[in-house]
């Protein structure tokens, strides 16, 4: 029997931000990145392997304004650990004992922190466009400088809508108006003050010192031309994670699950069936 977000298995408090689809003994958790919500996985859905139960959820601060008011906490969500606590609590509330975790961007590091704290909850990870740190230094191939960050934050404060209109095409990397409009819609829907705090939290985070402690297999998926995460970061992660694989998609942008769902779906099928 197909499971949906309206079924009794989803506790009422979770229904505003949790969606469950499919049927299978193995649960697959889908964690989205900045500027999107759980709808970001819609393009990938037709290419997801059958026989799994898919759990997708909105990060705190994303989704509807009403849900944001109930869940987003300035102090709790000022660092990745608060989001990792959210993920662990969600899995416990749903009775998930061991899942495959598919994360995009910031949700990859959220999954890493959760997996280090509760390794029993995760059997393997598939990370799309992850980065443990965004600032560059002499020992790490990041892309951003403190001056870059200051310019971004000032632009967001000055005119969020104008900043978002310029940021969306860079993130998307594909000139397809319909799909770009879908991404832009969720980006524009973010409350500007929460968007600024969230992006500052992401860019200030640095998990390099402990990301290598993730003991489950991690399958890395990157676009070859991603202005957010350069190839050097992908190679750094692959070398740092003790049980990892690395796959490239010949595409631009930071959202391959939206822009190239066939390629991503093929890799998911490969690694979820192991």
Catalytically annotated residues = 105, 226, 254
Order of all β-strands in the sheet with 27-31: 18-22, 53-57, 27-31, 99-104, 122-128, 218-225, 244-252
Q: Strand, coil or helix: what is 11?
A: coil
HSE-CB for 41 with a 13 A CA cutoff: 25
177-189 vs 160-172: helix axis angle to the nearest 10? 140
> Which distant-in-sequence residues (6+ apart) come within 8 Å of 61 by Cβ?
68, 71, 72, 77, 190, 191, 194, 197, 198
């Amino acid at each position: 029997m197909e499971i949906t977000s309206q079924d009794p298995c989803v506790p009422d408090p979770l229904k505003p931000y949790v969606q469950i689809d499919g049927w299978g003994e193995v649960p697959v958790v889908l964690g989205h990145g900045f500027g999107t919500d759980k709808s970001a996985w819609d393009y990938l859905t037709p290419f997801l392997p059958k026989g799994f139960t898919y759990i997708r959820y909105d990060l705190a601060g994303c989704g509807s304004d009403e849900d944001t008011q109930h869940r987003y906490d300035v102090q709790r969500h000022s660092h990745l650990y608060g989001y990792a606590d959210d993920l662990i609590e969600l899995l416990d509330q749903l009775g998930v004992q061991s899942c495959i975790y598919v994360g995009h961007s910031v949700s990859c590091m959220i999954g890493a922190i959760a997996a280090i704290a509760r390794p029993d909850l995760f059997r393997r990870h598939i990370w799309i466009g992850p980065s443990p740190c965004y600032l560059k230094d002499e020992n790490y191939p990041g892309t951003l400088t403190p001056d870059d960050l200051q310019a971004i934050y000032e632009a967001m404060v000055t005119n969020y809508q104008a900043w978002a209109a310029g940021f969306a095409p860079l993130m998307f990397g594909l000139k397809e108006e319909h799909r770009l409009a879908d991404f832009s819609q969720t980006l524009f829907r973010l409350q500007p003050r929460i968007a600024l705090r969230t992006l500052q939290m992401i860019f200030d985070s640095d998990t390099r010192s402990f990301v290598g402690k993730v003991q489950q297999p991690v399958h890395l998926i990157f676009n070859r031309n991603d202005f957010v995460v350069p190839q050097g970061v992908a190679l750094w992660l692959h070398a740092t994670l003790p049980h990892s694989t690395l796959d490239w998609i010949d595409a631009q942008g930071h959202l391959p699950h939206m822009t190239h769902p066939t390629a991503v779906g093929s890799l998911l099928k490969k690694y979820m069936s192991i």
